[in-house]
Structure 1
Amino acid sequence: MTKPDSGLAPPGSAAPQAESLAAVGHSSRRFEALVQPIEDYAIFLLDPEGCVATWNRGAARIKGYEAHEIIGQHFSRFYTEEAKARRWPEHELEQAVLHGRFNDEGWRVRKDGSMFWANVVITALREHDGSLAGFAKVTRDLTVERRQVEALRLSEERFRLLVENVSDYAIFMLDPEGHVVSWNSGATNLIGYRPAEIVGQHVSVFYPIEDLADGLPEAEMRRAAEEGRSVNEGWRVRKDGSMFWANVTLTAIHDAQGRLTGFAKVTRDLTESRRNEELEHSSEQMKQFLALLAHELRNPLAPVRNAIATLRLAPLTSAETDRARDLIERQIVHLTRLVDDLLDVGRITSGKIELREAPLELHEVIAHAVEAAQPFTAGRGQQVDVQVPETPLRMIGDHTRLVQVLQNLLHNASKFSPDGSRIVIDVHAASRVAQIQVRDHGRGLRPGTFESIFGLFSQDRTLPGPSENGLGIGLMLCRSLVELHGGTISATSAGPGTGSTFSIRLPLERTGMHGLGPLSSAPSLSPLSPPLAGAAHAAPSVPAAPALPALRVLIVDDNCDSADSLAMLFELKGHDVRVAYSARQARERIADFTPDAALIDIAMPEIDGYAALRELRGEVRLANTLFAAMTGFGQAADVELTRAAGFEMHLVKPVDAARFDEVLARAAERRQPAPGSAQAKT
């Protein structure tokens, strides 16, 4: 096979080589006159074999050789040993012959052995007949530029690592259309997406539905492009569907020609800060006052509720008396609800609200809320229509608190809507979020009040409506409880007389809570009265208690009316009752009396209920006595305290009569002899 002519003179061909050198010499004289004065570039000629034929000032300055030291030497002298070992100099000449020119960058060696980064262009020179005459070589020293580029690369790498390792801020880049192109660990921590899940997605995925409808993502990018940056605060959506209040800074990025190349976005989670700012309007004294007021109001409510239960057992002589009793009972229920709201406000403003989380089904929450609100709506001939999807809507949350939220909204809708009107609960799921809307056809809302109505003690008394508007804390409780579940609540209205719509958004199937406040599990002590247990029935009746033997009951309460009314109730049920208005009197009462059940108030002067329990527990005769605590506090921590002290049941004032029946039933069980055992003491 004949080897193709590479254009390089074969070894031992002396005559052609001499002719080529003569031609190169002639060309070099003209070339030298042009390039000799140039000092910023090394410009020289090589013969076809790669030996240096000319040398300019720039070559001497850059490479360190004088002309007489380098002319006639092979140009491979400028290359590193590694490059020569892989025949890179020969490769450059071969590529120049094949393609006319060869461009390369790499390390080169000066005379003194130092290295410099060179940009090299080798051009093949040919005679008129096409034969190879040699090569022109231009070399630039780019060491300084390379160091600058390397420094910039290192700086960018350090900045990238810095941004990547920021865990408290979501820092990421968008392209000019708003698609995510980078994603740091802080963004993963805050928003939940991993880089592979979000890069390439549009920034609108982080915005709630109403902001998308208003075109907020595009508006923010336009503002940033026009003004350089855009700063905004608002609700944003995590991957799991939960909401957080975000501070967002969007900065436009332009290239050297001023063209928009994208945006840098920095997001902070200010949910807790926002909540704290909202609660700053209520001073510490107000917090303490609300808690104290609500607790103290429970004491007078307890004897009134006991008296009502007693009246139900006593024979009634007229329908008027029956109606009066029912009226009093309805007002007691209303007062109890207000007291519960006041207690919750105190807990929320002091950061002590507790959620009892568990898996739940939203359909059940709505059904229980409608049932609890039925006395309000039925009393005014109003109809509640529930529209829910057929598929289950599962989430993690506090069933009782969510029922409380919806019951409050239904109560509001009923109170501010005409008799016989229709209230709609519309539920649907979208984008990992359940949206619940409560719509009414009542008095509506004035523009500008959609946000303020959720404030503490906020009421709009400028519109016609019921004279008894309550305390103005129900919607504040709703917002706080919804946000504790990682959701949001908002209100809209077309104006006065057009009705209102309250929208709740809750994340579905969350793996953790992103809301505020401490979370705890409910203790397993006796059932606790739910926050709005009394409000679930407009006129709760005393359920028919199972037939019980006559029991001995000790009541210890410094509130005489509360103790006496409860004693009256138990006596009407056929039980033997002793009343003590202090812990000391309790010791006296048991001198000749062994109670089957003892109900002890906790907040008593001098000797409280805990100390009273310890003294009574010390009596051997009371080993089988069932001890129940009576108190105005019903949080999980309060139940834990009474359980740790030795109480077996925890009753929250005002106590429903059915709860007293539970106490007596449990006490009676202890008196029942086990099969085959001796009869219990009488």
Structure 2
Amino acid sequence: MQDPLVHSAAAASGRSEAPRVPQVEDKTAELREALAIVEAQKRQLEIELEDARLLHGISSMMADEDSVDALYQKLVDAATLVMRSDFGSMQRYDRARGELELIAHHGLNEDAVRFWQWVYPGRATTCGKALETGKRVIVRDFENCDYIVGSDDLEAFRKAGVRAAQSTPLLTRNGNLVGMITTHWTHCHEPKERDLRLFDIIARQAADLIERNTTMQALQLQTQSLLEADRYKDEFLATLAHELRNPLAPIRTGLTLLKIGKPGQEARILPMMERQLGHMVRLIDDLLDVSRISRGVVALKPGRVSLGAIIDSAVETSRPLINAASHKFTVTVPGNEVWLEVDETRIAQVISNLLNNAAKYTPHGGQIALVAEVADDAISVRVIDNGIGIPASMLPRIFDLFTQVDKGSERSQTGLGVGLALARHLAEMHGGRIDVASDGDDAGSVFTLRLPASVLAVPEAPAGGEPARGQVAADPLRILIVDDNVDAAESLALLLNNLGHTTGIVLESPKAVATALEFRPDVMFLDIGMPYLNGFDLARDIRSNEALGGVYLAALSGWGTDEDRARSRAAGIDCHMTKPALADDVEKMLSGAGRQSPSRSAGMAPDQIVR
């Protein structure tokens, strides 16, 4: 019989051993699960370490590179490596064209590079689609892509061996598009998330590099532009000083000779001084015209005029320069009179500038021809010379401001280099243009002014001639001159006295109203830029005085813009003339200025100067 104690112990032992098996299995499962997590984390850490080493290697590869183009290439190589692709490309976004320009590639052949040098939005490529949508585009198989199938791009992809691609826009940190980076595969492929994550890091570097390089290039261009502008300024000031001294020298010499007073010299000296003064006036007028046109303050004054009259005016202006160089000059115009609706003065100025240019750049005794024609209802005026010609490198710049052919050489000519620039602007304001042709050095040149058919006008008989100038006035006037420049005031008074008028001078504008009440003038010449009281304010004071209400006011000033003329009208000034005014212009103005003032029998003595 079994011992009950032993049986009890065995039973107890059996009960305690039975649950121990599942507990071990559970524990084992937990350990295996923990081990799997550790293994997965280990693999993830190894992948991240591998990625970190890869990125570190890429950064090290680019760290010592100074060339921007080489950096672009290394970034494309790195993108190809990260994406495990067969080809890669990087493009820069050209904002002006709205297209992508290829700047670096990996593995593409020359035909592919030429074919995809520029890509427009919506083109049958992943980069064209990404440019259109602004988002990353992935195509795993070109043969099954709706917008690529049937396109010329698909044929090019087949020739290049490309079957799949992804394109990622390169955006700045402000969200502006600066380029595109693309990777290509020879087989159907869709990139993994890990590859795209690393690729985006490279794309970030590429975007930063393009933005930085674009900014640097813009700064370099701006610096170069400023340096060039500074050089142009120095050259212009030196040229201006030279050109102004040229006429000033004979004028000063002429004044010295007049002071000596040797009989019989005036006949030679005075015309010479007049020519040189006219040259100075033309220089200054050209500069002012260029400035006004660049600021958009020049307004054309079109009118009906014959083409022949315009050419006659231009030739008359340029004839002294042509004759001085003994050029053989011919003019050919249409047999029938041609009428235009243009600004006569400005078009004559254009043709004159072309003639002056030909005269200056044609050696002594050369040949110049002016040929005017009407064809297909358009007008062309050609100025042909056998002068020094224009090098091919200069043709694109010949109309730039302050540009001269052979500047600084022994063939350099006088002038500021504004005549052709001014002529081009004036022609364009009429809807026309100026073309230039030359076969190079010593081959002469041809400048052609072309005006559109829209300027043609219905023929009309020319107006009657104007009365002769320079004679003693039939109806003398009392004229008061208000100008703080003594020489300007006295010379104008001398001219008016010689024409038979009675004059008075006021050198301090605050005294002008009191003097006018005493002098009782018919006409008052007012300088504008005077101290204490400018011409506009003085005109208002005169107009507010009932006793001077009928006085004709004429501004005579160095300020002559359209804005200045408008301010004159607003101040009550009847006529605005710019210095130096021609005698004919002064006479013409005075002939139309009615005698509106009260009796002139009393008042201050004529020719008295009030300081």
Q: TM-score, normalised by structure 2?
A: 0.52
Amino acid at match of 2:525: L
In the alignment, structure 1 residue 378 sits paired with structure 2 residue 323: yes
Does the 8 A contact of 2:384 with 2:444 survive in 1? yes
Corresponding residue for residue 423 of structure 2: 478
Deviations 1:207-238 (A, max 9, x none): xxxxxxxxxxxxxxxx9xx958999xxxxxxx
In the alignment, structure 1 residue 628 sits paired with structure 2 residue 573: no
Go from structure 1 to structure 2 and tell me whether the alpha carbon gap of 1:374 and 1:572 turns closer, same or farther (over 3 Å shift). same
Deviations 1:254-276 (A, max 9, x none): 994969xxxxxxxxxxxxxxxxx
In the alignment, structure 1 residue 487 sits paired with structure 2 residue 413: no
Corresponding residue for residue 340 of structure 1: 285
Amino acid at match of 2:493: A
Does the 8 A contact of 2:517 with 2:547 survive in 1? no
Does the 8 A contact of 2:522 with 2:595 survive in 1? no
- Once the two structures are TM-superposed, the CA of residue 574 in structure 1 deviates from its matched residue by 4.2
What count of residue pairs does the alignment treat as equivalent? Answer: 376
Q: Percent identity among equivalent residues? A: 32
Matching residue within 540, 544, 557 for 2:470:
544
Q: For residues 668 and 482 of structure 1, what CA distance do their matches in structure 2 show?
A: 38
Matching residue within 560, 570, 576 for 1:650:
576
Matching residue within 334, 358, 362 for 1:389:
334
Corresponding residue for residue 403 of structure 2: 458
Go from structure 1 to structure 2 and tell me whether the alpha carbon gap of 1:392 and 1:319 turns closer, same or farther (over 3 Å shift). same
Q: For residues 471 and 354 of structure 1, what CA distance do their matches in structure 2 show?
A: 24
**3-state SS of the aligned residue for 2:265?**
helix
Does the 8 A contact of 2:406 with 2:412 survive in 1? no
Tell me which moved more, 475-484 or 587-596: 587-596
**Alignment of structure 1 residues 447-596 onto 2, 5 Å:** 447-461=392-406, 469-509=414-454, 543-596=469-522
Does the 8 A contact of 1:600 with 1:609 survive in 2? yes
- Once the two structures are TM-superposed, the CA of residue 360 in structure 1 deviates from its matched residue by 4.8
Corresponding residue for residue 639 of structure 1: 565
**3-state SS of the aligned residue for 1:599?**
strand
Amino acid at match of 2:406: R
Go from structure 1 to structure 2 and tell me whether the alpha carbon gap of 1:555 and 1:283 turns closer, same or farther (over 3 Å shift). farther
**3-state SS of the aligned residue for 2:554?**
strand
**3-state SS of the aligned residue for 1:319?**
coil
Amino acid at match of 2:478: R
Does the 8 A contact of 1:361 with 1:393 survive in 2? yes
Go from structure 1 to structure 2 and tell me whether the alpha carbon gap of 1:547 and 1:479 turns closer, same or farther (over 3 Å shift). closer
**Alignment of structure 1 residues 385-464 onto 2, 5 Å:** 385-391=330-336, 393=338, 396-461=341-406
Q: For residues 323 and 438 of structure 1, what CA distance do their matches in structure 2 show?
A: 32
Question: RMSD of the TM alignment (CA)?
Answer: 4.7
Amino acid at match of 2:416: L
Corresponding residue for residue 535 of structure 2: 609
Deviations 1:546-580 (A, max 9, x none): 43455322111122221122223333444332211
- Once the two structures are TM-superposed, the CA of residue 470 in structure 1 deviates from its matched residue by 0.9
- Once the two structures are TM-superposed, the CA of residue 394 in structure 1 deviates from its matched residue by 5.3
Corresponding residue for residue 219 of structure 1: none
Does the 8 A contact of 1:548 with 1:665 survive in 2? no
**Alignment of structure 1 residues 96-111 onto 2, 5 Å:** none
Does the 8 A contact of 2:477 with 2:595 survive in 1? no
**3-state SS of the aligned residue for 1:502?**
strand
Corresponding residue for residue 307 of structure 2: 362
**3-state SS of the aligned residue for 2:566?**
helix
Q: For residues 373 and 550 of structure 1, what CA distance do their matches in structure 2 show?
A: 36
- Once the two structures are TM-superposed, the CA of residue 339 in structure 1 deviates from its matched residue by 0.3
Amino acid at match of 2:343: D
Go from structure 1 to structure 2 and tell me whether the alpha carbon gap of 1:664 and 1:509 turns closer, same or farther (over 3 Å shift). closer
**3-state SS of the aligned residue for 2:355?**
helix
Go from structure 1 to structure 2 and tell me whether the alpha carbon gap of 1:341 and 1:619 turns closer, same or farther (over 3 Å shift). same
Amino acid at match of 1:347: R
**3-state SS of the aligned residue for 1:338?**
helix
Corresponding residue for residue 597 of structure 1: 523
Go from structure 1 to structure 2 and tell me whether the alpha carbon gap of 1:608 and 1:415 turns closer, same or farther (over 3 Å shift). same
**Alignment of structure 1 residues 62-81 onto 2, 5 Å:** none
Does the 8 A contact of 2:478 with 2:600 survive in 1? no
**Alignment of structure 1 residues 161-172 onto 2, 5 Å:** none
Go from structure 1 to structure 2 and tell me whether the alpha carbon gap of 1:465 and 1:337 turns closer, same or farther (over 3 Å shift). farther
**Alignment of structure 1 residues 41-440 onto 2, 5 Å:** 256=150, 318-391=263-336, 393=338, 396-440=341-385
- Structure 2 residue ranges without an equivalent (≥5): 1-96, 98-110, 120-147, 154-221, 458-465, 603-611
Q: For residues 471 and 590 of structure 1, what CA distance do their matches in structure 2 show?
A: 43
- Once the two structures are TM-superposed, the CA of residue 392 in structure 1 deviates from its matched residue by 5.4
- Once the two structures are TM-superposed, the CA of residue 510 in structure 1 deviates from its matched residue by 5.8
Go from structure 1 to structure 2 and tell me whether the alpha carbon gap of 1:598 and 1:283 turns closer, same or farther (over 3 Å shift). farther
Q: For residues 648 and 583 of structure 1, what CA distance do their matches in structure 2 show?
A: 18
Does the 8 A contact of 1:394 with 1:508 survive in 2? no
Does the 8 A contact of 1:443 with 1:465 survive in 2? no
Does the 8 A contact of 2:301 with 2:343 survive in 1? yes
Q: Which has the higher contact order (CA 8 A, sep 6+)?
A: 1
- Once the two structures are TM-superposed, the CA of residue 388 in structure 1 deviates from its matched residue by 3.1
Q: For residues 299 and 340 of structure 2, what CA distance do their matches in structure 1 show?
A: 18
Q: TM-score, normalised by structure 1?
A: 0.47
Q: For residues 574 and 510 of structure 1, what CA distance do their matches in structure 2 show?
A: 43
- Once the two structures are TM-superposed, the CA of residue 321 in structure 1 deviates from its matched residue by 2.6
**3-state SS of the aligned residue for 1:592?**
helix
**3-state SS of the aligned residue for 1:451?**
helix
- Once the two structures are TM-superposed, the CA of residue 601 in structure 1 deviates from its matched residue by 0.6
Amino acid at match of 1:599: F
Q: For residues 411 and 469 of structure 2, what CA distance do their matches in structure 1 show?
A: 33
Does the 8 A contact of 2:520 with 2:600 survive in 1? no
Q: For residues 451 and 117 of structure 2, what CA distance do their matches in structure 1 show?
A: 32
Go from structure 1 to structure 2 and tell me whether the alpha carbon gap of 1:637 and 1:483 turns closer, same or farther (over 3 Å shift). same
Q: For residues 581 and 452 of structure 1, what CA distance do their matches in structure 2 show?
A: 48
- Once the two structures are TM-superposed, the CA of residue 413 in structure 1 deviates from its matched residue by 1.2
Corresponding residue for residue 125 of structure 1: none
Q: For residues 431 and 656 of structure 1, what CA distance do their matches in structure 2 show?
A: 40
Deviations 1:409-441 (A, max 9, x none): 111112222444331122334455333211012
Q: For residues 115 and 456 of structure 2, what CA distance do their matches in structure 1 show?
A: 40
Does the 8 A contact of 1:395 with 1:508 survive in 2? no
Does the 8 A contact of 1:439 with 1:502 survive in 2? yes
Q: For residues 360 and 483 of structure 1, what CA distance do their matches in structure 2 show?
A: 19
**3-state SS of the aligned residue for 1:439?**
strand
Deviations 1:370-400 (A, max 9, x none): 2322232234443432223335555543222
Amino acid at match of 2:444: G
Go from structure 1 to structure 2 and tell me whether the alpha carbon gap of 1:499 and 1:459 turns closer, same or farther (over 3 Å shift). same
Go from structure 1 to structure 2 and tell me whether the alpha carbon gap of 1:364 and 1:549 turns closer, same or farther (over 3 Å shift). closer
Does the 8 A contact of 2:313 with 2:348 survive in 1? yes
Tell me which moved more, 347-356 or 390-399: 390-399
Structure (1/2) with the larger helix percentage:
2
Does the 8 A contact of 1:443 with 1:464 survive in 2? no
Q: For residues 549 and 404 of structure 1, what CA distance do their matches in structure 2 show?
A: 35
Deviations 1:615-649 (A, max 9, x none): 22233332332111112233444333322321112
Q: For residues 578 and 257 of structure 1, what CA distance do their matches in structure 2 show?
A: 88
